[in-house]
Amino acid sequence: MTQISSPDGQLRLPSCLDLSATESLANSFGNVRGLALVVVASDVRTIGAQCIQILLSAVATWRKDHLQIRMIDPSPAILDALRILGIPPSELMIKDDCR
């Protein structure tokens, strides 16, 4: 389950973002829509394409709403999944030079 620290606008991703986590992940973003957001991704050990799609959708939504969203501390699992899917890290607001 994702954890939201309200005062600082951070959403911490859980270690497992597989198919069973998609609904919870989507709901977590829905619950904080309209707020600037920092997504902390250091704990992710497993991530599926469906959760990558939810993360990409969140970034697109925040951009459409003209709000800041960025991901910090992406785990190797996230970076590997992006590489395998051919998605540049910058699509998730991750600097290309991290790790």
In this prediction, residues 15-31 reach a mean pLDDT of: 95
Q: Does the residue 97 lie in any domain?
A: no
Question: Phi/psi zone of residue 44: left (φ > 0), alpha (ψ -120 to 50 degrees), beta?
Answer: beta
CA distance 78 to 55: 11
Q: How confident is the model at residue 76 (pLDDT cuts 50, 70, 90)?
A: very high
How far is Cα 66 from Cα 81, in angstroms, rounded to an integer? 27
Average pLDDT, the chain: 89
**Using an 8 Å Cβ cutoff, are 27 and 49 in contact?**
no
Instruction: Tell me if 9 is assigned to some domain.
Output: yes
Element (H, E) at 17: strand 16-17
The reported pLDDT for the residue numbered 99 is: 42
Supply the pTM of this predicted model.
Answer: 0.88
Residue 12 lies in a domain: yes
Count how many domains the chain has.
1
Domain that holds residue 47: 3-92
State the CATH number of the domain containing residue 11: 3.30.750.24
pLDDT digits (tens, 9 = 90+) for 27-71: 999 999 999 999 999 999 999 999 999 999 999 999 999 999 999
pLDDT recorded at residue 2? 53
Determine how β-strand 46-47 pairs with β-strand 16-17: parallel
